[in-house]
Amino acid sequence: MINQETYFTPRQIVEELDKYIIGQKDAKRNVAIALRNRWRRMNVKSEMQGEIVPNNILMIGATGVGKTEIARRLAKIANAPFTKVEASKFTEVGYVGRDVESMVRDLVEQSVNLVKAEKKEEVKLKAEQIVEDIILDALIPPIKGDNGTVKNAASTETVTGELPATDSELNERTRERFREKIRNGELEDRKIDINVKKPANPGVGMIGGGMMDESSMINLQEMISGMMPKKSKKRKVTIAEARKILIEEESAKLIDMDEVKDLAIQKAENTGIIFVDEIDKIAAGGSGKKGGGGPDVSREGVQRDLLPIVEGSTVNTKYGLIRTDHILFIAAGAFHVAKPSDLIPELQGRFPIRVELDNLTKEDFYHILKEPKNALTKQYEALLDSENVKLTFQEDALEEIAEKAFQINTEVENIGARRLHTVMSQLLNEFLFDVPDKIGPNANIVITREMVQDKLVGLITNKDLSEFIL
């Protein structure tokens, strides 16, 4: 049973999402309920646990309103494996394109990485001790004398009232002094020789006359990689670099990969989230309903290939078999041309929760610039702070930026919050170019409303020409 403390309540999930995403209350509530329902299912004590399937979500909204960000942040909150795929990259079996099962294999790969990172933290202390000994041995190799007698009288130390120290004792004292220096970071730039293992690369691409499918390719490469001997190569690196390389190697030795694989499969099956973007691109739309051929045939084929994965099936991965019954699928699309009803009925039925995301208003743009933890204004402030230059935005300047972004979205093309990147880049590029040559350290740049109007006048004027540009 999973500890309740590791899962947020729906209200807490929404509060966490609010730190990064402005508005979209309905979408946040629905994903919060879906995430909490996972904890509820895993804590059901009866045999009903296996029967409870997740309510997959279909998000409908224009580009740049926060569909992908909601799904990505949700996975981070839950510490769950997450993968994003674009439905338009898949094609019906027999056509050139990615196999739909590859999305599940990508999810398992993410899950393995998550579990490995957790296990590395558990063995970190032990790995660091082993690496410290390896680095010390490279600096001051230990003496392995069989009788401990003095080999060179000139090299011995004498202490008043004590017998002369043996070579092994001197070696041990020197090693302890250097161990302290290593721990204190005094020798980070000194170079040492270490042996680095090179992974075997089978490089298999074709078998016989035809191309292999993705699953067979993975299994064959894994088998050949396991059979080939791993070569080691001697490298001269700094102690700082050696520590990074050796920590990875030693951690890998201490981790039980069979346990990692089992936990990763379990984690992917019960907490995995697959975000299928651009699902409207594989909806038949217009001509598909008339029974016409062409690309619509392939689009419906992709939907039918997706269906068993979303319904629940078993997929073969290089880490083992994984069932997709309890993976949460979140699909998203703008649905400008096609409508959700253009998807095949079976696939529509697998996405019972439909959420329409609102277009961003001028007020939303203002809050996006000001409130999120990773707001664009804060990012630019951090960038210039690295050059010891202080950047500040006046309130009326933020209002003007929001006004301009909203205006361009309305009159040219609505690309949502991504429009702010265009506007902020146009506004600040001159300052970013002049630092540090013209604008030196300790300078203070204040962005005012007048400055915004002056810098963005070209962006607003040229919007009328954009429709004539091929």
CATH code (residue 411): 1.10.8.60
Residue 268 pLDDT > 50, yes or no? Answer: yes
pTM of the model: 0.78
**Ligand-binding site membership of 272 (annotated):** no
**31 annotated as a binding-site residue:** no
pLDDT in tens, 433-443: 999 999 888 89
418 is in an annotated binding site: yes
Same domain, 318 and 273: yes
Domains contained in the chain, number: 3
Whether residue 233 sits in one domain with residue 123: yes
277 is in an annotated binding site: yes
Is 155 part of any domain? Answer: no
The residue from 259, 284, 311 where one domain ends is 259
Annotated ligand binding at 66? The verdict is yes
Same domain (yes/no): 217, 83? no
Higher pLDDT, 39 or 231: 39
- pLDDT at 200 (0 to 100): 56
The answer to whether the annotation marks 137 as part of a ligand binding site is: no
Tell which of 356, 380, 405 closes a domain.
356
**156 among the known binding-site residues?**
no
End-to-end CA distance of the chain, in Å?
Answer: 59
Q: What is the CATH number of the domain that holds 20?
A: 3.40.50.300
d(CA 176, CA 186): 14
Domain span including residue 60: 4-112+265-356
Residue 281 has pLDDT above 80, yes or no: yes
**Is the same domain home to 174 and 289?**
no
pLDDT digits (tens, 9 = 90+) for 295-336: 555 788 889 889 999 999 999 998 999 999 999 999 999 998
What is the C-alpha to C-alpha distance for residues 315 and 88, in angstroms, rounded to an integer? 21
Asked whether residue 463 is domain-assigned, the answer is no
* Contact between 13 and 36 (Cβ < 8 Å): yes
81 compared with 234, residue with greater pLDDT: 81
pLDDT for the residue numbered 292: 43
461 is in an annotated binding site: no
DSSP run (H or E) holding 104? helix 102-139
What tokens appear for 328 in the block? 């949460």
Same domain, 121 and 240: yes
In a domain, 157, yes or no: no
**Co-location of 104 and 18 in the same domain:** yes
144 has a pLDDT exceeding 70: no
Give CA–CA dist 298/278, Å, rounded. 15
Structure letter (DSSP) for residue 166: P
Regarding whether 243 and 126 lie in a shared domain, the answer is yes
Angle among Cα 71, 267, 245 to the nearest 5 degrees reads 95
Does 162 carry a binding-site annotation? no
Q: For the chain, how many helices (H) and strands (E)? A: 15, 13
149 is in an annotated binding site: no
Q: Which of 185, 194, 201, 200 is nearest to 247 (CA)?
A: 194
**Based on the domain organization, do 303 and 380 belong to the same domain?**
no
Let me know if residue 79 belongs to a domain: yes
Residues 48, 85, single domain; the answer is yes
